[in-house]
Amino acid sequence: MSKNIISNLTKRVAAILKEDVIKGKPAIARSPKWNSVRKRHLKNNPECAACGSIKNIQVHHIRPFHLFPQLELEPSNFITLCETDMDGKNNVNENHHLHLGHNGNFHNNNDKVLNDVDNFRLTHSKLGKLGGYDMKNLKKILNG
């Protein structure tokens, strides 16, 4: 099959599922509260946790909400990551949402995102160790 045919099929499937198959977004409807919860998180956490950028920041779910729907609106499950081209040269390695949050592929989720952000901060920036994330509380919520 040619790449063009596959691309067209992917677009059709995405339209049917109302899903961005390319970016790996799940075909699960967001809560009507998501936009306000997202805005509140970004207001309180306006910088990329990895590099401190304020450009093109995204709310990343530490535990993906399509697998853990009960955590979609849980603030302790969020981390702010950027999709910023830091050096102005389209250096995709600086897309921290993609590379730290999803291991370089939006179809994946990085279970160790907090550790990876910590390591990035300690080796590539002067921000120091990441604080404020309570994984014990998140696990407690998961185990209900």
- pLDDT confidence bin for 140, thresholds 50/70/90: low
* Residue range 49-80, pLDDT digits in tens: 988 889 899 999 999 988 889 999 999 999 99
How many CA atoms lie less than 13 Å away from 90 in the CB half-sphere? 0
Per-residue pLDDT, 120: 87
Exposed/middle/buried for residue 82 (C-beta within 10 Å: 0-12, 13-18, 19+): buried
Which of 85, 87, 88, 121 lies closest to 98 in space, CA to CA?
Answer: 85
The residue assigned the tokens 């977004």 is 25
Q: Where are the domains of the chain?
A: 1-29, 31-143
- The string of pLDDT tens digits covering residues 103-131 is 988 888 999 999 899 888 888 767 777 76
Q: What is the C-alpha to C-alpha distance for residues 51 and 2, in angstroms, rounded to an integer? A: 39
pTM, two decimal places:
0.72
Report the b/e string of 96-112 with b at 16+ CB within 10 A: bbbbbbbbeebeebbee
pLDDT in tens, 15-43: 555 544 445 555 678 899 999 999 999 99
Q: Is the pLDDT of residue 1 over 80?
A: no
